[in-house]
Amino acid sequence: MAGSSSSSAPGGSTDYAPPRKMGRMLAVLIVLLVATNAVTAVTVYYVTAPTTAVVQTLRVIGPWAGPEKAKFLPVLNLFHNQTGINYEYITTRQEDLQSLLPNWFAAGRAPADLIFMPSSFIKTYGVQGHATDLASTITQSNYAAGALDPLKDGSKLYGGAYTGKVKPGFWYNKSFFTANNLQAPTTFAGFEALLADIETRGLVTNQPIISGDGVGWPLSDVVEHFIATYGGPSMHRALTAGTLSWTDPTVRNIFATYLVPTLTKRDVCVNGCWSAPRQWDTGVTEWWAGDYALYFMGSWITGMVPNPADIGVFSLPGGVSTQGIVFAADYFFVPKYATQLDSAKRLAAFLGSAAAQTEQVKVGGHIATVTGVPSSAYPPLDASIAALLTGKEVLSDLDDTKGGTFQTTFWAQLQALWAAPSTLDTVLANIEAAA
């Protein structure tokens, strides 16, 4: 081949040089590349070009799937009927959105026009300028006192509260309690006696209480309940605000006096009163099947058992005179980069109205955050759960409010406490370090 040195002897004494035709081939390649790209571009342009008028659709991202989604869609349908605005609902886990949304925001875009996220996330990114100020959109006077506080920064309001769930205490199967002649306790000593009794009589195949697990949040709900009951709302709020140390003797005392004895083996229960943390949703089945007697969980559990009429609940007994109860609201916000900003604001205002929340509570499993929702709208079971709030101060979920790395540290450290209750001081020190 002309100009080629490919016939060089083995050993490489003569260097390789490409044939002269290589330049021609390169030119052909470039022409082909340009041509195919041009064809592709023209094709894509015509394929994606709208042939009819574009229908504006409001995109909503929420965490609910399956039955929970089915219960939420009627609310969006009501909004559509009232406004004529089309919507598209997409289910995405909030844990995933925690990672994804910052990247969208950095690019000046958002995957939806209205997104449900924890309050800590909304406030953090709202302050950074990624959420729309809804102070003039949402009627704040509609809400119960303090319901919007986690979303506020001065006069700005970065989101709204939708309905929520309450985390009232320990759920039990009424038939199981009746069959075994068990009573809901009225004192902490009675609570310990109940646990010991369940274990001694071998009424369940495992520990008396099942500990839920997922990424760790169920244990944080348990601990918050102990704090709200025996430390009171002021302690809960101070820990949330970071004005009280987790290693403070008053806080440590709650753990050491009430929680740790029930966790420790050969104390209240020989094998410990709490199981090792188990996947929380399959845990519902195990608990309902009688493998465990009690389950600390939020009010959404009523929608997960075959016979909700047979479910009972009691809060930790005793405690300080003014107690708190954690109410976990579902929060939403409108990203600054929403493409349907006006429609999204209208939906935000709607979700913060009594009309929307009445529609939601009707289907069960939700408690309203706005005033004006008639008690008759609640199914009987939810009405009794809502009644648990009476006489107690409503508290925001501690770890959801703080968010960030505190939340995951809190979960991981509580798992460590469950594994080794004797490490209480180390656990509290680690939580404090992340607070």
Partner 1 sequence: MRRARTGRARRPRSFYSTSVVRVLFFVPATVLLIILVVYPVLQTLALSFLGPGSGAFVGLDNYGNVLGSTETIDLRDTQFPLGTLIDNLLWIAIHLPMTLFTGLFLALTLQKVRGASIVKSMVFLGMVTPLIVGGIILRYLFDEKSGIVPQLFGALGVKSLAIQWTQYPSTLLFGLIFGSVWLWTGFSLIIYSAGLTTIPKDYFEAAQIDGASSWQMFRKITWPLLRPITLVVVTMTVLWELKIFDIVYAATNPNGGVGNAADVLALQMWRYAFRAGNYAEAAVVATLLTGLTLLVASFMFHRMVVGMRGGGKRPSLLARVLRIVRRRP
Q: CB neighbours of 341 closer than 8 A, spacing ≥ 6?
A: 113, 132, 334
Among 74, 102, 317, 318, binds partner 1 (CB under 8 A): 102
By CB under 8 A, tell whether 127 contacts partner 1. no
By CB under 8 A, tell whether 7 contacts partner 1. no
By CB under 8 A, tell whether 242 contacts partner 1. no
Q: Residue 259 is encoded by which pair of tokens?
A: 């929680």
By CB under 8 A, tell whether 277 contacts partner 1. yes
Among 7, 10, 15, 154, binds partner 1 (CB under 8 A): 15
By CB under 8 A, tell whether 215 contacts partner 1. yes
By CB under 8 A, tell whether 124 contacts partner 1. yes
Q: Which is nearer to partner 1, 187 or 285 (CB)?
A: 285
By CB under 8 A, tell whether 130 contacts partner 1. no
DSSP string, 41-54: HHHHHHHHS-SSPP
By CB under 8 A, tell whether 401 contacts partner 1. no
Beta carbons within 10 angstroms of residue 84's beta carbon: 7
The helix/strand/coil state of 261 is helix
Q: What does R_g of the chain's alpha carbons equal in angstroms?
A: 29
* Residue 355 phi, psi (nearest 5): -60, -45
By CB under 8 A, tell whether 429 contacts partner 1. no
By CB under 8 A, tell whether 407 contacts partner 1. yes
* Residue 370 phi, psi (nearest 5): -100, 160
Q: Which residues of 127-146 are buried (b: 16+ CB within 10 A; e: fewer)?
A: eeebbbbbeebbeeebbeee
CA 328/CA 333 separation, integer angstroms: 16
Q: Residue 303 is encoded by which pair of tokens?
A: 């929608």
By CB under 8 A, tell whether 289 contacts partner 1. no
By CB under 8 A, tell whether 420 contacts partner 1. yes
By CB under 8 A, tell whether 399 contacts partner 1. no
Question: Which span sits near partner 1 by CB under 8 A: 17-25, 62-70, 183-191, 349-357?
Answer: 17-25
Please state the closest distance from residue 108 (CB atom) to partner 1, in A. 17
Question: Which span sits near partner 1 by CB under 8 A: 19-27, 57-65, 196-204, 386-394?
Answer: 19-27
By CB under 8 A, tell whether 390 contacts partner 1. no
Question: Which span sits near partner 1 by CB under 8 A: 177-185, 208-216, 362-370, 380-388?
Answer: 208-216
Q: How far apart are the first and last CA of the chain?
A: 75
Do 405 and 434 meet the contact criterion of CB atoms below 8 Å apart? yes
Residue matched to tokens 């101070």: 238
Among 71, 236, 413, 428, binds partner 1 (CB under 8 A): 413
Please state the closest distance from residue 15 (CB atom) to partner 1, in A. 5
**CA 82 distance to own-chain centroid:** 29
Please state the closest distance from residue 151 (CB atom) to partner 1, in A. 18
Q: Which is nearer to partner 1, 10 or 306 (CB)?
A: 10
CA 412/CA 431 separation, integer angstroms: 9
Q: Which is nearer to partner 1, 159 or 365 (CB)?
A: 159
By CB under 8 A, tell whether 213 contacts partner 1. yes
By CB under 8 A, tell whether 23 contacts partner 1. yes
Among 130, 167, 225, 278, binds partner 1 (CB under 8 A): 278
By CB under 8 A, tell whether 360 contacts partner 1. no
Total binding residues for partner 1 by CB under 8 A?
A: 41
Do 277 and 418 meet the contact criterion of CB atoms below 8 Å apart? yes
CA distances for 293 relative to 129, 210, 220, 221, 409, angstroms: 48, 8, 20, 18, 29
By CB under 8 A, tell whether 216 contacts partner 1. yes
Cα four-point dihedral sign 103, 106, 111, 115: positive
Among 79, 87, 292, 411, binds partner 1 (CB under 8 A): 411
* Residue 226 phi, psi (nearest 5): -60, -45
CA 376/CA 107 separation, integer angstroms: 47
Cα four-point dihedral sign 115, 165, 274, 311: negative
Per CB under 8 A, residues contacting partner 1 are 3, 5, 12-18, 20, 22-23, 26, 95, 98-99, 102, 124, 213-216, 276-279, 404-405, 407-409, 411-413, 415-416, 418-420, 427, 430
